[in-house]
Chain A
């Protein structure tokens, strides 16, 4: 009895949240500061630059718009997969989660086309400070997408065994994974206009 960690499945009576939910929000707070540092760099570099290009003149806006759509669609399928678990429908959960993972992969494929196109034209991060920040921020965001896909794929396949043992804890985990995935979407929502449209 005594050696068990409390509030893994059930929310704490006072704070009203489970450990994993509070934990993932703390992690996201830290992520906000990580991207905050990069955005701060972007603002400072752009402010000091005299020849900063317009994103729409040098980057592929249609492709990025498509990617934005892909990512927000994956966000809604993610939240629907969680809602399916709340309705105790594991089949629907699997379907939505599979779509989420596929959309995540689609995002990466489209992104790699975008990068490939740049590399073909010998455009690397070292070309200018604009490309440096473009590759760094979208690259770091891409790493976050990869991380999210790994987590989601885990919960789609081996991780979903937990459903049969403790549905409540599993639903909590999917909510936590969802929070992370929405955050990745949220970062893109800012990256897209700032890098591509201005």
Chain B
């Protein structure tokens, strides 16, 4: 069948990759590994940029109205006046921090980066099913990112109506909001191409013998994630089109009749519904939470199995729980909207689904922690990050409970409690898992290990400061401190807990400093890291470790054949404590 396969990558295989000019090989590459690295590097830069935005914002919360020392003078007068931040800039920082971290940082890193690089290797495929679409996916993401960044420089600045962009406020916001919508359209189409590619690759291109229940859990997590991206993103695309129409063609999809802005009757036809946006937005944005967390769980499972040297506890339970989680994530979205005056039946329905979705999360977390029992745990840097993910995600999940029940949500809605809750899920949760993944797969990508000492310094300081940043937010939230306040001192109820803001801000800046060892380690190790002694430095079982290091174009010298499940560690009577999936006999 080989002689009439005409995939572009197949042609490359024949002519050898050296024939390709530089720009085809590293810039407009169709190789999933190059694209994966492009995604990883771009999204790490975006993560850092998004973090810088919030470090700026935290100055205003800690020291409201005081000029920002040293760097404040470099900002234009539209953003800061002699170093004092303007509300315009504050709200841009807030909205763009959320947008960039989620859509340009974590998702592209977790799915675009790790998914692209690791997934085809783990299923023994030479590439993704549609390499050209894969390249397009990256470049759409890149353009979307550039548009988002450029929006800071348009008159009125970037989007400033929150990352949720609720109309009518976003409808009447400055032009940056239009840029935000156009940028989102690129990002949505990028993720659409990516998810189609992932699904087809997983279904069609698994190596011989690699049945669904022999897939590493990471692949399962990516599979479920791809379905979420495929089916949940389009309604946001629809919503973005409607909001673009409202902003550009002056329609009234989200503008009700009789709107009066600044004592002026709005010159629109009216008849729209502001809450419509929230439905379409949260129809995406709740599954999006699981897009952020599932790949993280996948990475953590791989690393835990490898570093406990034993099979995962309840692999099938993990798989079924993640499928169920994905399914349920589509029908919980309105728990973000309890205060928009929904009927009793609706609120009961969404509270019930929200409680139900906590069960598979509990199962996954329990399964992962029980996997430690009976192991022989190696405390490598990736393992430390993976282990830290568990309690951090646990806190994030538990604190979701009071927000999922309407009665307690009344008090906690739109307070710092919410911010603490979802940051525990995605910051010390998902981002720790992503760091774990970087440390874990770095040797496969570069052929060199990252430095363990720097890695451990990075871990311990990040762990401490992450908690110093987010734990006090629960106290603020219980005290009723509301989010998105330019001046935290306005309200009497916020003043007693204001010292916490200073504590959080200082911790956030220290957390920023704690990333320096990582940056040094990451770039330093590319050139100076200790070379790996063989293709499988962690003695792992899954297929990516049987490929050459770094994997060449086409990945495997011979198509791998799989004989066993993904986590055959410490098989009784084996000579070595791991049995690769490709091993016909137990070694």
Residue ranges of A at the interface with B (Cβ–Cβ < 8 Å): 1-10, 12, 15, 17, 19, 22-23, 26-27, 29-38, 40-41, 44-45, 48-49, 124-129, 132-133, 135-136, 140, 162, 165-166, 168-169
User: How would residues 1 to 17 of chain B score, 1 for a CB under 8 Å from any chain A CB and 0 otherwise?
Assistant: 11011110110110000
Given contacts A19-B200, A45-B276, contact A127 B7 (CB under 8 A): no
Check B4–A136 contact: CB distance below 8 A: no
10 A-B pairs closest in CB distance: A3-B554, A37-B238, A3-B13, A37-B235, A132-B251, A34-B234, A33-B234, A129-B271, A126-B250, A166-B4
Check A7–B204 contact: CB distance below 8 A: yes
Check B235–A33 contact: CB distance below 8 A: yes
Distance, CA A141 to CA B236, complexed state (A): 17
Check B200–A45 contact: CB distance below 8 A: no
Distance, CA A162 to CA B4, complexed state (A): 10
Q: Given B4, B7, B204, which contacts A22 in the complex, CB threshold below 8 Å?
A: B204
How big is the B interface, by class?
Answer: 35 or more
Check B273–A19 contact: CB distance below 8 A: no
B192 at the interface (CB under 8 A from A): yes
Distance, CA A10 to CA B231, complexed state (A): 27
User: How would residues 231 to 250 of chain B score, 1 for a CB under 8 Å from any chain A CB and 0 otherwise?
Assistant: 11111111101100100011
Distance, CA A6 to CA B233, complexed state (A): 29
Check A26–B195 contact: CB distance below 8 A: yes
Complex: chain A residue closest to B252, CB-CB: A129
Q: Which residues of A contact B196 (CB under 8 A)?
A: 23, 26-27, 30
Check A40–B235 contact: CB distance below 8 A: yes
Check B203–A22 contact: CB distance below 8 A: yes
Check A26–B237 contact: CB distance below 8 A: no
Q: Which residues of A contact B126 (CB under 8 A)?
A: 2-5
B511 at the interface (CB under 8 A from A): no
Q: Which residues of A contact B554 (CB under 8 A)?
A: 2-4
Given contacts A5-B126, A44-B276, contact A125 B1 (CB under 8 A): no
B327 to chain A, nearest CB (A): 15
Counting chain A CB atoms within 10 Å of each CB, the highest count among B197, B203, B236, B268 belongs to: B203
Check A41–B251 contact: CB distance below 8 A: no
Q: Which residues of A contact B279 (CB under 8 A)?
A: 40, 44
B17 to chain A, nearest CB (A): 10
B288 at the interface (CB under 8 A from A): no
Check A3–B251 contact: CB distance below 8 A: no
Q: Can you spell out 6 A-B residue pairs with CB atoms less than 8 angstroms apart? A: A5-B127, A7-B205, A29-B231, A35-B238, A41-B253, A136-B241
Check A37–B272 contact: CB distance below 8 A: no
Complex: chain B residue closest to A35, CB-CB: B238
Check A34–B558 contact: CB distance below 8 A: no
Check A49–B199 contact: CB distance below 8 A: no
B280 at the interface (CB under 8 A from A): yes
Check B9–A3 contact: CB distance below 8 A: yes
